Chain A
Amino acid sequence: MDRIPILKMGEYLLITIQVDMHDRLAITLQEDLSDQIVKHRSHGVLIDISTLEMVDSFIGRMLGSIASMARLLDAETVVVGMQPAVAITLVELGLSLTGVRTALDVEKGMVVLQTALSKARRNGAPGAKV
């Protein structure tokens, strides 16, 4: 069974979702990610979905779960690279993805993480969400 690789990028972790997700893969990903966050004491996670041609409510929930789980471990999450057709479909679908930050690409995603983290540090609370 394939696993989704988690890369360390400076102080952040980067996950690139390229394959069609199915249940077991999603569960394994969350487990692996929580291990890695703790291991590297990361405070930011970037999820790159730029090759995903579809996001349904299952994947939407998965992204939400990852963000919630990461927050419990004192890490912020940003989803980057959503394709226009996917964004338009998600909006029609009615999936709001609240609790999940989004950015155009990895570069902008890192800026979002930096802003979120410095704000959290100032407030003294672990990563306040938008």
Chain B
Amino acid sequence: MVSSKSKLAEVLEKREQEIATGWLERQTSSLKRLSGAEQQEVTRQSREFLKAVKTAAAGDGADTSSQSWTPVREFLTDLSAVRAKSGYTSSETASFIFSMKQPLFEALRQELGHNPEALAAETWRATELLDSLGLLTTESFQKTREEVISRQQQELLELSTPVVQLWDGILALPLIGTLDSARTQVVMQNLLDAIVKTRSDFAIIDITGVPVVDTLVAQHLLKTVAAARLMGAECMISGIRPQIAQTIIHLGVDLSDVITKATLADAFRLTLGRAGYSMVREQKRSAEN
């Protein structure tokens, strides 16, 4: 085992330049057209990586889970994450590793061609090594993609629950789409923060754009109303369509504690009255001039 460990490292040392050149050629041919700057970056990364692999192989042979391979693993994890964020595909990212196979095998053949058993053993070891590194890049790539998607979902969630100030002390929350428990958390946070910021006494939650109101959605709405109340703001629900009203009765949901109105306009008129405003419509100027 000791002799085979040193062979890989030895070959990498002796044939580094050849391997690097062959590898770079294959990389650039498998990636989409690279700009000059990108080309330089790939070259730099490849050289750095090859050095790291050389050092690791000299330490612990081909066991990529061991301590001496940590710098290599970290390098690959970072590289994959960057590529995932930059729009590379999974294959393009993994090709960083896999395109090293052919030049590496070629170098092994040149060094160990006289000893078929050793060549076979080393080629197998090299394949295992590169396969496990290739899998690592794919895993890291996927993880980064998932993080990006999750972050975008969160942003979308926040954007889709705006709080609008209708008047001094009167807020409106037009909900579009379904109201699940994750969204309810965001809705409550946005609403309560707005109540604090605008020192509002009233909030109107308009559910015209909520397609389905079942027991769960009703519970989420009631929670939101309760939370606003704890902040000293009175909450109303508007946009109750006839079908929704029927569903609510059928389900036995108790909304008796909340003021509900069919339209946002009705709710607005009511809150204006409660807030002490009255509106006067100016008489139209008749032909008196």
Q: Which residues of A contact B (CB under 8 A)?
A: 80, 82, 84, 87-88, 90-92, 96-97, 102-105, 108-109, 112
Q: Mark B206-244, 1 if CB is under 8 A from A, else 0.
A: 000000000000000001001101111100000000000
Report whether A91 and B230 are in contact in the complex, using a CB–CB cutoff of 8 Å. yes
Instruction: Give every chain B residue within 8 A of A104 (Cβ-Cβ).
Output: 195-196, 199, 231-233
22 A-B contact pairs sorted by A residue (CB < 8 Å): A80-B232, A84-B189, A84-B193, A84-B195, A87-B192, A87-B227, A87-B230, A87-B231, A88-B189, A91-B188, A91-B223, A91-B226, A91-B230, A92-B223, A102-B231, A102-B232, A104-B195, A104-B231, A104-B233, A105-B199, A108-B201, A112-B232
Identify which of A90, A91, A92 gathers the most chain B CB atoms within 10 Å of its CB: A91
Contact B185 A88 (CB under 8 A): yes
C-alpha spacing A103/B189, complex, angstroms: 17
Given contacts A88-B192, A92-B223, contact A97 B230 (CB under 8 A): yes
Q: Is chain B's interface secondary structure helix, strand, loop, or mixed overall?
A: helix
Q: A96, B226: Cβ atoms under 8 Å?
A: yes
Q: How far is the CA of A34 from the CA of B209 in the complex (A)?
A: 50
Measured in the bound complex, the distance between the Cα atoms of B229 and A22 in whole Å is 26
Q: How far in angstroms is the closest Cβ of chain B from A105? A: 8
Q: Which residues of B contact A103 (CB under 8 A)?
A: 232
Number of A-B contacts (CB under 8 A): 47
Given contacts A90-B230, A108-B232, contact A84 B199 (CB under 8 A): no
State which residues 11-57 of B face A: CB under 8 Å: none
A90 neighbours in B (Cβ, 8 Å): 227, 230
Instruction: Scan residues 146-162 of chain B and give those whose CB is less than 8 A from a CB of chain A.
Output: none
In the bound complex, how far is the Cα of B192 from the Cα of A102, in angstroms? 14
Are A88's CB and B232's CB within 8 A? no
CB distance from B114 to the nearest CB of A (A): 73
> Is A88 touching B227 in the complex (CB atoms < 8 A)?
yes
Tell me whether B223 and A84 are in contact (CB under 8 A).
Answer: no
Complex: A88 Cα to B195 Cα, angstroms: 13
Q: Which residues of A contact B227 (CB under 8 A)?
A: 84, 87-88, 90-91
With A and B bound together, what is the CA distance between A97 and B201 in angstroms? 19
Chain A residues, Cβ within 8 Å of B201 = 108
Residues of A within 8 A of B192 (CB): 84, 87-88
Q: With A and B bound together, what is the CA distance between A108 and B193 in angstroms?
A: 17
B25 CB to nearest A CB, Å: 57
Q: How far apart are the CA atoms of A84 and B188 in the complex, in Å?
A: 9
Bound complex: CA A119 to CA B188 (Å): 31
A residues near B195, Cβ cutoff 8 Å:
84, 104
Known contacts A88-B189, A88-B192; is-contact A82 B231 (Cβ 8 Å): yes
B196 to A108, Cβ gap below 8 A?
no
CA distance A91 to B199 in the complex (A): 21
Q: What is the CB-to-nearest-CB distance from A76 to chain B, in angstroms, rounded to a whole number?
A: 15
Distance in angstroms between the alpha carbons of A88 and B229 in the assembled complex: 11
Beyond known contacts A87-B227, A102-B231: 19 more, CB 8 A cutoff: A80-B232, A82-B230, A82-B231, A84-B188, A84-B195, A84-B196, A84-B231, A88-B189, A88-B227, A90-B230, A91-B188, A92-B223, A96-B226, A103-B232, A104-B195, A104-B233, A105-B199, A108-B232, A109-B232
In the complex, the chain A residue whose C-beta lies closest to that of B196 is A84
Query: B161 → chain A, closest Cβ, in Å?
Result: 14
With A91-B223, A92-B223 known as contacts, the answer to whether A102 contacts B189 (CB < 8 A) is no
Whole-angstrom CA separation of A87 from B226 in the bound complex: 9
Q: Which residues on A sit within 8 Å (CB–CB) of B185?
A: 88
| Docked complex Cα distance between A82 and B229 (Å) | 10
- By beta carbon, the residue of chain A nearest B225 is A91
- Shortest CB-to-CB span from A6 to chain B, Å, is 22
Nearest A-chain residue to B195, judged by Cβ:
A104
